[in-house]
Amino acid sequence: MNVAKELKSKFDNYNSFPIEFWDSISALGDTISVGKETTLKEIYKIENYLYFLLEGSGGILLWNYNNFVCTDMVLNNDFLCDYLSFITRKETPYEVIIFEKSVLFQISHAALTSYLNTSENGDKFWRFSTQVLYIDKHLQYIQSVTHNLQNIYMNLRIVL
């Protein structure tokens, strides 16, 4: 599996960075396999990694009185992390968990930031990654409120 090509394909709909940019980023991270129900980030901790889900599924959970509520479900070929904590470098009440055996690309905040601070595409990457996140999450929200539960369930069954 070519991680650089997978990362590039996620961004190409919004902005096409050269493959060399993605090769450099993929060289700074690791591909890991994790088991079902693995916690990647605990509540009230700072997110130190950006994950890209190559195979499997995961989610962002928020504690609500006596149980967790899934605020975001992530499937293959998408980014997974507590973005709020990753960007602000502050603790948040979110937990990041894997729902099934998964393969992920992980890169640390320190390695990514260090590279982007010296890359000619660094500022552009931060700007476009924010736009990608905003667009994807709003499209997901629109889909979730305009479909009835049966349609959502059927779509999930097809994806899973």
Q: Which of these, 18, 21, 85, lies nearest to 50 by C-alpha position?
A: 85
Query: For 1-46, what is each residue's pLDDT tens digit?
Result: 799 999 998 888 777 889 999 999 999 999 999 999 999 999 999 9
pTM attached to this predicted model:
0.82
Residues in the chain: 160
Phi and psi at residue 102, to the nearest 5°: -140, 160
How does the average pLDDT of the chain come out, rounded? 87
Beta strand ranges found along 66-116 (DSSP E): 67-74, 78-80, 94-98, 102-108
Rounded Cα gap, residues 13 and 101, in angstroms: 28
Query: For 56-89, what is each residue's pLDDT tens digit?
Result: 999 999 988 888 888 888 888 889 999 989 989 9
Phi/psi class of residue 40: alpha, beta or left (left: φ > 0; alpha: ψ in -120 to 50)? alpha
The CATH architecture annotation of domain 3-35+50-80+98-159 reads Sandwich (2.60)
AA letter at 21: F
pLDDT of residue 153: 59
- The domain spans of the chain are 3-35+50-80+98-159
Rounded Cα gap, residues 91 and 84, in angstroms: 9
The H helix count followed by the E strand count for the chain is: 6, 8
Rounded Cα gap, residues 105 and 150, in angstroms: 32
Rounded Cα gap, residues 46 and 153, in angstroms: 32
Question: Token pair 């450099």 is at which residue?
Answer: 24
